A and B are shown apart, each in its own frame.
Chain A
Amino acid sequence: MKNTLRQVFRPGKFLAGFIIFAFILLLTVLYPLFNPGDPLAMIGLNNFTKPGTYVSVYDSLNVNRTFVFKLPDAAEKRIGSKLFPEDRETIKDYLTRLGLPEDSIDIDDTHDLMALWWNNYDPANQIGKTIAERRAYTALDNKLAGIFVSEDLEVLQYDPGTDEYVRKKMVTENDYVNVGDVANTIWLPLGTDNFGADMLKKLVSAIGTSLLIGLIAGVVATMIGLLLGLLAGYLGGIADDVIMFFTNLFTVIPGFILLILISYSIDQSRRGATTVAIVIGLTSWVWTTRSVRAQVISLRNRDHVNLSKLSGHSLPRIVVGDILPYIASYVVMAFILQISSAILAEAGLSMLGLGPKTTDTATLGLVMEWSIMKSAAHISGAWWAYYPVIIVIALISFSLNLMNTGLDQIFNPQLRD
């Protein structure tokens, strides 16, 4: 046993897969400790806020200690945060449409460009083919208003007693506050989803649920497959024929279709993550049955099994003591593959709108469905709402397959290098 374990964990594919998988598993266990709370809580009121750190405007104005820094590129950055390179192109485009010679416009000279824009832009002058284009010009003009202004800002506070605004303080362009002094900041490494929930938190909780679904489905499928495979292989005869008939049948009838039919028939309110997992398990046992049966048939007439029979050992004892140890590696390999295919099946099912009910848990499939099918994040450019999910699904599947191949190389010496 010890030797086998040492062999299995020898540096190689299995170890690599194991490390990736363990890392993902640890993430689902540890991350909620650092960031507790309901992963589906809608903390934001906007759809798909982009990743980054958000600082409360109110609190940063209320910080008492301000510092003065004179950074040489501060003004430039301030302009850059409003006037993007594509905006410069848009301006040039507008001006050339107005009839200005193209070589007179230098998009790199901000002051000249803006002067040209303010001199020439006229909301009444409807340049642009579509309403959307015209609106974009108006929006650009609004955005760029006051881009060079560097005068101080005055902060007023409303006093409900006197119904007046009281001057609170002046903010100059060189004032800074320490982010640590701001009472409320929030770090959203993956932004928020379409409901305004913290995407990373939701993703981590979804990974946990999906792994659980994989585990339950894998256990169910392995149990059924093991039992049927043992019965078919050891008993032979009619039992074998009947079991193999059904196994062959469900090998060709696509399990995913059965999954769709069963899931549709269960009302959505009753379709919890566990139910979906069990249904996936019920439709994916054929491979275990096949490989277990094949192994058992080759073991059935080995000497040690016959000896056990002659000694009068009971059937369960023979199966557990003399057969199971020999097929354990195959069962483990099939189990690993079933976890990964169950996670993929859940994701596919959820994309079709037949996943677990959506209110209380997130699964990887449901997160994909919310992002892609329900709110078209891929069209609107919210990459954080779907790329991480795809990568996580692929990584889980990859790590499990890597572990499986690694085991295969150890237990199937013919595949060794």
Chain B
Amino acid sequence: MKGYRKYFTRKILWFLITLVSAVILNFILPRLMPGDPIASIVSKIGGAGSNNPAATQAMYEHYQNAFGLDKPVIQQFFIYVKNLLRGDFGLSFSRYPIPVSEVIGNALPWTIGLQFPAIIVGWFLGNILGALAAYIRKGFDKVLMPAMLFLGGVPAFGMAIILLVIFGIGLQWFPFQGGYPPGMIPHMSWKFFAGIISHYHLPFWSIVLISVGGQSLGMRSMSIYELNADYVKYSRYMGIKDRKIVGYVFRNAMLPQITGLALSIGTMISGAMVAEIVFSYPGLGTTLLQGIRENDYPLISASTFIITLMVLTTVFILDIIYGLIDPRIKASQYE
């Protein structure tokens, strides 16, 4: 247990460090940029109607006060952190007076419910295909590998558009707008649930297909490495059955794939967010887009923070899983 404790403590510490860094970046990046953010917000909100200097001035002071920008930066940062800890992201500009936390809270379950199952399914399918390609080689590999390379190169939103046009508009198999039937208010019923499922297909499969492309290539290389390893040759000389060796090989090749998933999860979630937008899926991606379109700065800041938090948490969980299933991790902590 001692080895685990050390490993977990280190991982928890690292999670906290990355989290704090993410908070600092989220706070500091928009403030580092040249120009006066409040002036730009006021001019964007005011638009054509802001030719009354007194009103503009009042608006300017209001936002300066609301963001606490008249205080020193360090103090601003602590106010920001304090609000974050209470889950207070301020009020949304575009949906005033709804608090940002409520907008995010409504979007988050959709994103988590869509992206995580899709990424996991894509990861499994990709690993199986990659392992098969490495084991069979020959014709299967010759066809599969370029196909997967091509699939991995299609941008996530591109895949979303292709599926939407073919299966949504062309064949009309599935609805392609929103996360549930239009006109329905989210509630608990079989009918609503069936609506969710039918709206789920297209965004889900577009994310799965994209993940399959990238993951299968990683698994293929890992499996080829393992198949060429000395222990495989040794096992063959010992006369161990091929099937058993393949079992060992794939278990060993799967492990680095968990790290691979941890390393690529940020890119995958970002890509899937843009795919969400294509389907107007009511998740964080669409919320972020709305924030950008309507210059709703508190909404953007909260969305990017929550997405970062999602990625960091996933990486953390994957690290823990990796530690639990790979005994070498535990052993290495005794050094």
Contact = CB atoms under 8 A, between A and B. Distances in A.
Question: Quick one: which of A252, A265, A394 has the most chain B CB within 10 A?
Answer: A252
A363 interface: no
Contact of A398 (B21, B150, B156, B270): B150
B109 interface: no
Given A254-B308, A257-B270, A378 B158 contact: no
Contact of A262 (B29, B158, B161, B301): B29
Nearest to B35: A267
Contact of A256 (B21, B26, B221, B267): B267
B164 A378 contact: yes
B289 A353 contact: yes
Contact of A378 (B145, B165, B266): B165
Interface of A: 248-249, 251-258, 260-262, 264-267, 340-341, 344, 347-348, 351-354, 368, 372-373, 378-379, 381, 383, 386-387, 390, 393-398, 401-402, 405, 408, 414-415, 417
Given A354-B292, A372-B278, A414-B224, A398 B26 contact: no
Interface of B: 14, 17-18, 21-22, 25-26, 29-30, 32-33, 35, 37, 40, 137, 145-146, 149-150, 152-158, 161-162, 164-165, 169, 217, 221, 224-225, 228, 262-263, 266-267, 269-271, 274, 277-278, 288-289, 292-293, 300-301, 304, 307-308, 311-312, 315
Contacts of B224: 414-415
Contact of A249 (B18, B228, B274): B18
B25 A253 contact: yes
B2 to A, nearest CB: 25
Contact of A261 (B26, B40, B154): B26
A243 to B, nearest CB: 15
A415 B137 CA distance: 12
Contacts of A417: 137
B158 A390 contact: yes
A393 B315 contact: no
Contacts of A394: 150, 153-155, 158
Contact of A252 (B33, B270, B315): B315
Nearest to B263: A251
The 9 closest A-B pairs by CB, nearest first: A397-B153, A254-B266, A256-B270, A265-B33, A390-B158, A398-B153, A394-B154, A261-B29, A265-B30
Contacts of A397: 152-155
Contacts of B267: 254-256, 341
A344 B307 contact: no
Contacts of A257: 266, 270, 304, 307-308, 311
Nearest to B149: A401
Contact of B152 (A252, A351, A401): A401
A385 to B, nearest CB: 11
A353 B292 contact: yes
B270 A348 contact: yes
17 contacts: A249-B18, A251-B263, A252-B18, A252-B262, A253-B308, A254-B266, A254-B267, A265-B33, A348-B156, A368-B157, A372-B161, A372-B278, A373-B277, A378-B165, A394-B150, A396-B153, A397-B152
Contacts of B18: 249, 252-253
B228 A351 contact: no
Nearest to B308: A257
Nearest to A369: B157
A373 B157 CA distance: 11
Nearest to A386: B161
A178 B228 CA distance: 67
A210 to B, nearest CB: 12
Contacts, number: 143
A253 B266 contact: yes
Given A353-B292, A390-B161, A402-B149, A254 B155 contact: no
Nearest to A393: B155
Given A352-B277, A394-B155, A265 B21 contact: no
B30, B33, B217: which has the most chain A beta carbons within 10 Å?
B33
Given A252-B262, A258-B25, 4 more contacts: A257-B270, A348-B155, A398-B149, A414-B225
Nearest to A371: B161
Contacts of A368: 157-158
A300 B289 CA distance: 47
Contacts of B271: 256, 344, 348
B274 A352 contact: yes
A264 B292 CA distance: 8
Contacts of A341: 267
A244 to B, nearest CB: 12
Given A254-B308, A351-B277, A401-B152, A264 B266 contact: no
Contact of B29 (A258, A348, A372, A390): A258
Contacts of B29: 258, 261-262, 265
Contacts of B274: 348, 351-352
A218 to B, nearest CB: 16
Given A257-B270, A417-B137, A352 B292 contact: yes
A340 B150 CA distance: 12
A394 B153 CA distance: 5
Contact of B269 (A254, A264, A265, A354): A254
Given A258-B25, A348-B270, A351-B277, A267 B150 contact: no
Q: Which of A254, A260, A378, A408 has the most CB of B within 10 A?
A: A254
A379 to B, nearest CB: 7
Contacts of A340: 153
Contacts of B21: 249, 253
A304 B288 CA distance: 54
Nearest to B277: A351
A257 B285 CA distance: 11
A344 B214 CA distance: 14
